[in-house]
Structure 1
Amino acid sequence: MRFLLAAILVPLVLVAGFLAYALSPREIEAIAPPARVSFSPVAIERGQRLALLGNCNVCHTAEGGRPYSGGYGVETPFGTIYGTNITPEPETGIGAWSLEAFDRSMREGIDREGRHLYPAFPYDHFTKISDGDVAALYAFLMTREPVREAARANDLPFPLRFRPLLAGWKLLAFREGRFEPDAAADAEVDYGRYLVEGLGHCGACHTPRNLIQAERRDAALRGGVSAGWTAPAIAGEAAAAVPWTQASLETYLSDGFDPDHGAGAGPMQPVGVNLARTPSEDARAVAAYLMTVLQPRPALPPPLADPAADPATIALFEGACLFCHDGAASGGARGVTLDRSTAVQAEDATNLVNFLFHGRQPAAGSAGSHMPGFAAALTNDQAEALVAYVRARYSGLPPFPDTAEAVRAARRASAP
């Protein structure tokens, strides 16, 4: 009988305890939007820099929308989660949030009303940010132009719309805590680690995830996926024909392009755009830290000088690709030479196919490398043959294992 009672009571107690925890966050009292004069110009300027480093404008601005007014859709395996309005508008934004409420959202993933936030908002990284930087980011956001824009409803199945369930995810995957400096480390390297692990939340894209979509701590920065692109490993062995150096990493991060590796595209492209607008010491520090965790890949066999391909594929390559991407043929490549492209050297065809279909266009108002997309000009079979030919001609690696699926996925993404 005692065993039966225990078998009944223990689960009930555990469930009750979980519900108490899940429903425990209190609502923090609303405030009137603070006046701009209540924030120092130094804090606002620092906050602007932090907002760029954290790419806040990317996830909190819809295409064609007002800055920070929300509406951008973050695709997850469970559905779409939309970025919220973080302008100081009191009813639809965060104008009624105190610094305490803002700090709690960053540290614990709980909004002012006491609701758990989805980890598409990377509070598992933001929890590491210093108190001063949280306050500076708050000062910047609360001095933006208020925009009245209600949040879009997330496109999630019913169980996941019940936010208290997120408390279970936090129990399994979230660890609150500030960044811990390493007194023995070089100051620049440690600042880079602070940016990578904290505000920059690099692991959100560059770390593989487990079944509950939490980052795998045992494979931090070893590569992941984001918005249909492969986010390559930036720790451990990196797929690169030319080993990364601190100088080339810094160039890539701040310019979005490095001639020995290629151009940032997809979700990485706005990261470079934002880093180019912050002091150079930020990209330099990130590069310095990454050089302590990157390892060169062993030397590869030479690529095939004349890979087998049908004449139509060779003609397609020579007409569409050769002039811009082969230095010898063009008298100086306008794009990265393909034997150095990290997309060609990658473990799968995803990024190379994405470049082929979508190209790369500079952000509005900024300069940068440009490549047209060829999705409308190529059939799936042509794209698959072209990617296979480029892989064989410009790398000493085996054929991509999944080219056909990568082409189909890119085709779906390019559909209107």
Structure 2
Amino acid sequence: MLVLSNFAAGDRKQGKDNPFRCYKEEPTLVSYFQRMKELLVFFYRVAYREGGHFTVRAEPDAATVSSTSERQEYTQLPQDIIRPTNDQRSAMQHILDKLSELKTIDAWSHRSTGGDRQAVAAEKEKDMVEELKPAVRDFFMQLICHEFEGQPFQSPVLSFCAMLSRKKAHAGHRSKDCARPSRTGLGDDERDDAERQRLNTGGWQEAGNYNSNLSALIWMAQVLIFESVYHHHVNNGNDSITNQLKKLCEKFLHQAQDTAFARILSWRLYLTKVSKGAIASNQARWSSDGRQITYLGTTLSITEHIPQLILAQYQRAYELLFDSLLFEEKSIGTMQPGRLYDDLDDKVFNSSWLTHPKNAELLSGADSVLMKCIAQRPDLKTHFYQYVAEEDKAKLNKRAVDVYEASVQEFLQALATLLHISPMLSMAPCASSGTAAARYIS
């Protein structure tokens, strides 16, 4: 298996080669096989079928496209560039012939009424499926072992990779995103203009996401090479599996060769380099002077917006806690967190400061204080309880409880914002509205 990972001359002297990862999780395998199915369909529709899959666009206006070269580029389609080899076409035709025979057997079995005939048809269908497997394997091997010179996208595999590099336009977002005006500062926390344009018109895949598509093709190519060599060894046995693998890997899976998968391996190296230094769409970026931070198109000033954000979230959390969650009840006493004991090094399963023995006296009765408050106030009792005539008793109103739980989640969301802000940012000076003196948010 190490030979399959031997893409760079195979010396393994620098210790950077990774062994072939034969084990993959089920969702990963499903996505990898899906990519190969898409490659087969792409070849049939775009490169093999007469006339291709795409149609010529409307003739451009003379004012828009002036030169002959621009006009040719405007009407050029993928099937005009891709140049499949005769062997690749023959392999695809072989698959289609087998599928045609399989379809004939299936139709004959449906017309047959006798049990013996149906059994014979089922046996023939099983044999035909077994014959179809090597036909599909041989087709993919023709794609893997494709040597070419010149235009890389003459290769069906590399043209397929080019298709994978593009994102689809999100038609469902087009109307509402185009109608929404562009906002700056604290106004738009969702997407900036560039993000809306990407949703409307599509765009390029991020380097990391596109790299995963290439990894899927490479892993499947490795598996197909091994399977092909194994079947060749079983049928012929002239050469050892290791020697045959080495020859194929050095010839078709080496970056110095002019093959489709050699190009893919080179692309993956470049993409890995780019993805390590790229800024993800959900990653914040600092300005060069360290005074501003940009996230999803929204720019925040450390000295202006961060203190505003802290004050707004603190006020929101305070109002939710005392007005909604504690029912504006003045009789409910506050608790000093510094008096509570919390052992962060406690390794006991399911341990918590709520159940720690040292907090028992402080927390005595805390679990029922809200229920007592509801029972003592008629307005809360009417809101949270409803009388059930069939059972002749009052029960908790599920809708009221759901609304209360939603307020709890909103309170925790406000706290989460405060917890994710660095203490250094919360100490940033901001201008006072009354004086020019600096004050600090603590």
Q: TM-score range by the shorter chain?
A: under 0.3
Q: How does the TM-score come out when normalised to structure 2? A: 0.21
Structure number with bigger Rg: 2
Which is helix-richer, 1 or 2? 2
Query: TM-score, normalization: structure 1?
Result: 0.22
